[in-house]
Amino acid sequence: MTGFADEEGVRFASTLLGSRAVAGTFVESVLGVKDDNGISMRDALSQFGLDPDHIGAAARARSELLAYVELHIEQGPVLEGLNLPVGVVSAIAGATRLAASLTGVAGHAGTVPMLLRRDALSGAAECIVEIEEFCRTDPDGLVGTVGYIHAMPGATNVIPGQVSFTIDIRAPTDAHRKLAVADIVRRIEAIAKRRKLSLQLDVTHENRTVPCAPWLKSQVSEAIKAEGYRVFELPSGAGHDGMAMIDIADVGMVFVRCRGGVSHHPDEHVDTSDADAGARVLLRLIENFRPRGAE
Amino acid sequence: MTGFADEEGVRFASTLLGSRAVAGTFVESVLGVKDDNGISMRDALSQFGLDPDHIGAAARARSELLAYVELHIEQGPVLEGLNLPVGVVSAIAGATRLAASLTGVAGHAGTVPMLLRRDALSGAAECIVEIEEFCRTDPDGLVGTVGYIHAMPGATNVIPGQVSFTIDIRAPTDAHRKLAVADIVRRIEAIAKRRKLSLQLDVTHENRTVPCAPWLKSQVSEAIKAEGYRVFELPSGAGHDGMAMIDIADVGMVFVRCRGGVSHHPDEHVDTSDADAGARVLLRLIENFRPRGAE
């Protein structure tokens, strides 16, 4: 049993810190990244009494581990919709994140006729509507999100000359996600071209899909059944430490229902009885555990 | 000849300060407004050595003034497109500004299926595209601008639960602008309703259209002609001190060409020869001036 430091990447915008160290894939250059106050990860670790130069010693070998199984809230609304307290995770969906920047021409909101405008925010808005429509009409679980947007100069009476926004694309398989990203990029390029906006589009993050091991999925299913619940399998749209641990162990996951699918928000909530159900499934799994090949 | 303090409303977000004082329409409650550092306008005036309680003494009566004529850069691209250094302003277009806020449900970018989302930013994007399209297809000079947008919580991997944005609508006549605003409000309400987003929409600013006096327009035109330029009449989409001065005087305006229509931006530029042309037109106007009725 373990807990990993900073899976989310909140302070240094770099994810899976603890699990990457254990998997032996910690990237040393991340130590130089600074937080919003200009403190590097290296200094933060030192100030906390840790030795950044010993991170390599945390690495474990595949031969030391039987499996990696994680218990987590779903962070989505599927189990709640099915009235199930727990579920078996089929795979951790890969994700591609892009940073987009559109540059047009700033101008006075009252004096530039509509047909002479090169409004970066109108262009970004068209991209956002297009991304949503493209994902909404996908039959296979594609999701696309623009979570951040910044328009400059950002005044009521000025046509925005530059807009930055992020794009997060996830799908149950890598092939599906990559095709979708290529298609979305083409659509954004076409919008920028038609509106005479210059476009900067960079991939900032790319995570492969991590499938859960069939032998672990079946033991998780058995534990759920043994606790008296219906077995339901669903993918994880969110990233988890299993994405790092797959390098040194087979991965399994148990999901616990949460309220309204809300996560990363003060309203995130799990009923105590559901947390209990998840803990009992995990305990049952450990008690009945048979290593791979010994099934 | 005069210059007025803070037409723009940069520090206290309240416009036409100097001209309203001269017109006798200064609103006393504005003295309590604080800047970003928490300093009230009353304190700022006192610290500068002025007496806020004597603002009323700046007021002039209609009988004291012959006319109000203003020289200003166009802040738009029309004169440049026509290769004219100066122009006669027909009217200062009225403006309506609105603050919009859409509230949906924040959620994890990877876990909430597209069809279960209530994404406030996708909703705002659809509003922005709709406002642009509505104004772009108007045949009579309507302009609409979304200059400011803020999405919360604003993280790459979180579906925005709330988005605020501003809308600035201007047209050459008050009737046209009011009809357009009503239509745009209806369209935004329909988008919010269809997407199950709650909408807060408030008018934050409403300025009537200020027509320039025909007798002043004709004397401005004569001065332009006398300086050897072609006479061209155009509306001002931007607001000016004339909007306050109309309460105590007939208003006229001379526009000077600027580069690329860019204004309120470090790239704002007027050629020296065009500034000279504008000054000569104003001088000629004053030299040849005949008061109303004495023409």
Pairing of the two strands B233-236 and B86-92: parallel
In this predicted model, what pLDDT tens digit does every residue of A42-79 receive, in sequence order? 999 999 999 999 999 999 999 999 999 999 999 988 99
In whole angstroms, what is the distance from residue A130 CA to residue A124 CA?
Answer: 10
What pLDDT score was predicted for residue B237?
A: 87
DSSP H or E run through A276? helix A272-287
Percent of chain A at pLDDT above 90? 77
Mean of the per-residue pLDDT values of chain A: 93
- Inter-chain CB proximity A106 and B265 less than 8 Å: yes
* pLDDT computed for residue A266 by the predictor: 85
Whether the per-residue pLDDT at A88 is higher than 90: the answer is yes
Contact A157 B141 (CB under 8 A): no
**Interchain pair A153, B265: CB under 8 A:** yes
**Mean pLDDT, residues A273-279 taken together:** 97
CB contact under 8 A, B126 and A122: no
CB contact under 8 A, A136 and B114: yes
Sequence-ordered strand ranges (E) for A192-269: 198-207, 210-211, 233-236, 251-256
For the segment A157-169, the average pLDDT, to the nearest whole number, is 96
CA-derived radius of gyration, chain A: 22
Does A295 score more than 70 pLDDT?
no
Contact check, Cβ <8 Å, A151/B153: no
Q: In Å, how far are A23, A105, A282, A283, B114 from A1, measured between CA atoms? A: 15, 56, 11, 11, 35
Taking residues A227-246, what's their average pLDDT? 93
User: B53 in helix, strand or coil?
Assistant: helix
| Model pLDDT, residue A248 | 96
A4: pLDDT strictly greater than 90: no
Higher pLDDT: A265 or B32? It is B32
Q: Identify which of B108, B142, B147 has the shortest CB distance to residue A154.
A: B147
Q: Measure CB to CB from residue B110 to each of A93, A121, A149 and give the nearest one.
A: A93
Low-confidence ranges of chain B (pLDDT < 50): none
Contact in structure between A31 and A52 (CB atoms under 8 Å): yes
Q: Note whether B236 contacts A138, CB cutoff 8 Å.
A: no
Kind and range of the H or E run holding B95: strand B94-103
CA distance A103 to A199: 7
With a CB cutoff of 8 Å and minimum separation 6, the contacts of B129 are A122, A125, A126, A129
- Element at A164 (helix H, strand E): strand A162-171
Does the pLDDT at position A10 exceed 80? no
Amino acid A244: pLDDT:
93
pTM of the predicted protein model: 0.79
Per-residue model confidence (pLDDT) at position A228? 97
> Sorting pLDDT into bands at 50, 70 and 90, what band is A264?
confident
| pLDDT for position A113 | 87
Option in B77, B142, B145 nearest A109 (CB): B145
Chain A interface, mutation test: which of B11, B108, B197, B255, most A Cβ atoms within 10 Å?
B108
ipTM passes above 0.90: no
Write out the two tokens for B278.
């504008």
- Alpha carbons A290 and A209: distance in angstroms, whole number: 26
Examine the pLDDT at A1 and tell me if it is beyond 70: no
Q: Above 70 in pLDDT, residue A227?
A: yes
Does position A139 have pLDDT exceeding 90, yes or no? Answer: no
Option in B107, B135, B264 nearest A108 (CB): B264
Per-residue confidence (pLDDT) for residue A99, from 0 to 100: 95
Query: First and final CA of chain B: distance in angstroms?
Result: 22
Q: What is the pLDDT of residue B1?
A: 65
Q: How many CB pairs under 8 A join A and B?
A: 232
- Interface touch A261/B156, C-beta < 8 Å: no
| B259: closest CA of chain A, how far (Å) | 11
How is residue B207 written in tokens? 């300025």
